[in-house]
Amino acid sequence: MKQLMIKRTKQFAVDVWRMCSNLPHSREYNSYVNQLLRCSSSVAANYRAVSRAKSKADFLNKLKIVEEEADESQFFLEILDEINSSRNLSSEIKRLIKEADEIVAIIVSSIKTSRSSLY
């Protein structure tokens, strides 16, 4: 499961990058795109760091960061979906929103499981 999530979160970051490369370049778009690129790549980077946790508490903290970054990615994807409602990227953005939502759900479940074994 761990290796699958490492690959999945990395693929999410790559897919977001590819989608963002098709968006227009303007001051307004760049602001959202830059935030989205940072948080989506942070999902993958921080999930990768989960396996190097020093303790159960560190493990939980790293998972919480992944959860926050995935949720933030979903937020910026939703904004871009609303802004781009007339463009042909809507189906790809919706797919990425769904993927971000699934990643959040998996991470939340992992956090709950880890917490219950911690106490």
* pTM recorded for the entire structure: 0.91
For 9-60, the pLDDT digits (tens) are 999 999 999 999 999 889 989 999 999 999 999 999 999 999 899 999 999 9
User: Residue 42 sits in which domain range?
Assistant: 2-118
**Could you tell me the CATH number of the domain that includes residue 44?**
1.20.1440.60
For 100-119, the pLDDT digits (tens) are 999 999 999 999 998 887 65
Question: Which residues are within 8 A (CB) of 23 and not within 5 positions of it... i.e. 6 or more apart?
Answer: 29, 33, 80, 84, 89
**Could you give the CA distance from residue 115 to residue 15 in angstroms, rounded to a whole number?**
31
Task: Provide the number of structural domains found in the chain.
Answer: 1
Looking at residue 54, the DSSP 8-state letter turns out to be S
